């Protein structure tokens, strides 16, 4: 009665499932390739010690680290693990975004893919203790605006997106001013307030508050690591790297978690 062959089981699966899986896998592979290119953009294509150019196959994710090829051929310095993590995170994020949003809005999904990639650039740029590149900010503004107008998660008036923009900008402007006084820096860093304002407008006030919670959690987790590893200077350029991770988590999972919490409270 239950003697079904593997082909019979496959026949029971609807054809749209195959198409969905093929779509997700395609974007995951694309995300892997884009992640490699962005890792080179963030870290450079040369060894930081002797400036020797890395071979192309050493930047292919996983393989170099499995076969221990992830070293400079000249000075034998190990390549940064970011060359491995960047493509993996990009691939997973792209696959999740396509799975969750593609059927609702293709425009929104593409904007989320761009935002995830830019935020990963900002995060890994901060991990390497580099000053925030304004090119990332300019590249982020347009897709952030698109996600506000094509928001598929929570039905919120556009007015609340503008409210979140001003709330986020003023909050991080005050943080920047306070940190400037503590460090006795006269020049205000406007990167964090503008970045936060873009995030606020993109998410709306509910998901923006959730992204702040995620940011605080990331900072709490990172602080012991930073203290143990004194060479890590991620906080030297503000909390933007951690805010970018909070933004990614909120984009992908914010609505589901918020709705779950509301159901539990009610």
When pLDDT is averaged across residues 120-147 and rounded to a whole number, the result is: 80
When pLDDT is averaged across residues 131-152 and rounded to a whole number, the result is: 81
When pLDDT is averaged across residues 112-130 and rounded to a whole number, the result is: 83
Query: So what's the pLDDT on residue 21?
Result: 80
Are 26 and 102 in contact by the 8 Å Cβ rule? The answer is no
Q: Is the model's pLDDT at 254 over the cut of 50?
A: yes
Query: So what's the pLDDT on residue 234?
Result: 44
CA separation (Å) from 104 to 101, 153, 161?
5, 9, 20
Closest to 215 (Cα-Cα) out of 194, 189, 236, 241? 241
At residue 14, the 3 state secondary structure works out as coil
pTM of the complete model: 0.79
- 24 vs 83: CA distance, rounded Å: 23
**By percentage, how much of the chain surpasses pLDDT 90?**
5
CA torsion through residues 182, 183, 187, 189, sign:
negative
When pLDDT is averaged across residues 47-57 and rounded to a whole number, the result is: 66
pLDDT in tens, 159-185: 888 888 888 888 888 877 776 555 554
CB count, 10 Å around CB of 173?
Answer: 18
Q: Is the model's pLDDT at 256 over the cut of 50?
A: yes
pLDDT in tens, 189-242: 677 888 888 898 888 888 888 898 988 888 888 777 666 555 444 444 567 888
When pLDDT is averaged across residues 4-19 and rounded to a whole number, the result is: 53
Q: Is the model's pLDDT at 34 over the cut of 70?
A: yes
Are 161 and 201 in contact by the 8 Å Cβ rule? The answer is yes
């Amino acid at each position: 009665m239950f003697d079904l062959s593997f082909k019979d089981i496959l026949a029971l699966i609807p054809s749209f499932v195959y198409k969905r899986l093929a779509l997700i896998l395609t974007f995951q592979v694309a995300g892997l390739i884009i992640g490699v290119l962005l890792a080179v953009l963030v870290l450079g294509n040369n060894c930081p010690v002797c400036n020797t150019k890395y071979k192309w196959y050493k930047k292919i994710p996983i393989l170099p680290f499995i076969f221990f090829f992830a070293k400079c051929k000249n000075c034998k310095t190990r390549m940064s693990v970011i060359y491995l993590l960047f493509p993996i995170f990009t691939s997973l994020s792209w696959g999740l975004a396509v799975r969750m949003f593609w059927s609702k809005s293709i425009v929104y999904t593409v904007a989320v893919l761009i935002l995830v990639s830019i935020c990963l650039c900002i995060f890994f740029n901060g991990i390497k203790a580099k000053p925030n590149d304004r090119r990332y900010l300019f590249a982020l503004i347009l897709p952030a605006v698109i996600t506000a107008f094509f928001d598929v998660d929570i039905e919120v008036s556009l007015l609340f997106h503008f409210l979140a923009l001003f709330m986020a900008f003023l909050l991080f402007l005050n943080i920047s001013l306070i940190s400037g006084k503590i460090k006795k820096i006269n020049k205000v860093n406007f990167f964090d307030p503008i970045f936060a304002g873009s995030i606020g407008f993109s998410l709306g006030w509910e998901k923006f508050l959730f992204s702040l919670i995620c940011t605080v959690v990331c900072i709490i987790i990172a602080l012991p690591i930073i203290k143990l590893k004194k060479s890590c200077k991620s906080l030297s350029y503000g909390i933007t790297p951690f805010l970018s991770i909070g933004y990614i988590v909120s984009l992908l999972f914010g609505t589901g978690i918020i709705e779950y919490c509301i159901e539990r409270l009610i």
